[in-house]
Amino acid sequence: MNAITPTSQTAQARAIVVDINHELRWWREHYAQYPVGRPSYGQAEPTLKFAYDTYLLHPHAHLDALWPDIRRRYAQLPLHQQLDWARAGQVIGEVWRRILTG
């Protein structure tokens, strides 16, 4: 994952930066390796973007604590951008694992 955490001796809060173009390129190249029965990359891309946005909103939170908020926010996406919730949850979890494990 291409994330940058700038630090400063005077700043207590850490800024998180994600190169979303790099990340989406990575997903385009590697998405086919994920289990059969998945939506196509094109169908999943809005959910991938949503997952990165969610991480940037809550970079120091544990994913398990965020699921109620994630589900509420995801339901607000236009229907044509949503996957069914079970698949969306899998994609969001995979993005989160990629961020945390690099």
Using 50 as the pLDDT threshold, list the residues of the chain that sit under it.
Answer: 4-11
**pTM assigned to the model:** 0.81
Task: Quote the pLDDT of residue 25.
Answer: 94
Phi, psi of 4 (to 5 degrees): -120, 130
Task: Quote the pLDDT of residue 3.
Answer: 54
Task: Quote the pLDDT of residue 8.
Answer: 44
Task: Quote the pLDDT of residue 38.
Answer: 75
pLDDT tens readout for residues 30-43: 887 776 567 889 99
Rg (C-alpha) for the chain, rounded Å, is 14
